[in-house]
Amino acid sequence: MQNQTIVITGATAGIGRQAALACAGAGANVVACGRRAELGATLLEEIRDNGGQAIFVQADVTQAQAVKALVARACEHYGSLDYAFNNAGLFQREPQLDAYDNNQWYQHLAVGLTGTYLCMKYELQAMLKTQNRVCAIINNASTVAFTGSAASGAGYTAVKHGVLGLTRQAAIEYADRGIRVNAICPGPTLSEATAPLLDADPVKRAAALSVLNPTAQLVQATDIAQTLIFLCSDAAKMINGQALSLDGGQLAKL
């Protein structure tokens, strides 16, 4: 990824933060986006302390003008846009559909689906101006994009199904124009919500994790970051319109 530019949304924590660090380590010019400026500043400091190149743009992906300005800033600062990782989204334990809060539903759609659509729209416009390069967009979906889930809820599940639809549609529309579009679909990932499992008794921990996937392990943010780098690389030049599951065999088990 040397000297190539990537926009990463939801970059101030979790998967997005690790993706930003990994891409910077691979030589990319990172344009990190998030809503929390203080966390953005901390991320930039760590990237630059390790010799990487990055800028931070505070933006709300639900707002078209903010997303347009984000992509414009990336192109102005680094000259062009080569890659994008549309990672911003929401996840929380949710009630069943009959008790679902309407505002929670609208928020999920705004951030996870409309936000992904807006990012793709303006990223594609910028990438179409890039000459003699193959560009790549990677959307962060989930194994929940293929099935329902007792651990999430209607908003999250519907959004992730929608993200796959956007991914496949764009892959078809831009396949002959030098832009590949794919999705990463992680299974249960190490986070604040799942971290207590690691502190459990080893036997109980293995039993709980094996329900999530046959390897009895949680997906690590570093696993997702390395898959992102692969999908941006020439090694993945024939991968387009795909939903790549990182789940330790979870979906195969189902």
pLDDT in tens, 69-82: 999 999 999 999 99
CA distance 27 to 54: 10
User: Does the pLDDT value for residue 209 go beyond 90?
Assistant: no
Residue 200: inside a domain: no
Six token digits for residue 29: 């010019």
Give the C-alpha distances (Å, rounded to integers) separating 232 from 94, 156, 179, 212.
34, 26, 10, 28
Residue 197: inside a domain: no
Residue 169: inside a domain: yes
Q: Which of 159, 135, 137 is nearest to 149 (CA)?
A: 159
pTM of the full structure = 0.93
Supply the residues annotated as catalytic.
156
> Which strand (E) or helix (H) includes residue 32?
strand 29-34
CATH number at residue 106: 3.40.50.720
Phi (first) and psi of residue 211, to 5 degrees? -65, -35
Count up the domains in the chain and report the number: 1
CA distance 117 to 43: 25
The 10s digit of each residue's pLDDT in 98-151 is 888 999 999 999 999 999 999 999 999 999 998 778 899 999 999 999 998 877
Predicted local distance difference test score (pLDDT) of residue 211: 79
Place of tokens 């195969």: 252
Residue 203: inside a domain: no
User: Does the pLDDT value for residue 216 go beyond 90?
Assistant: no
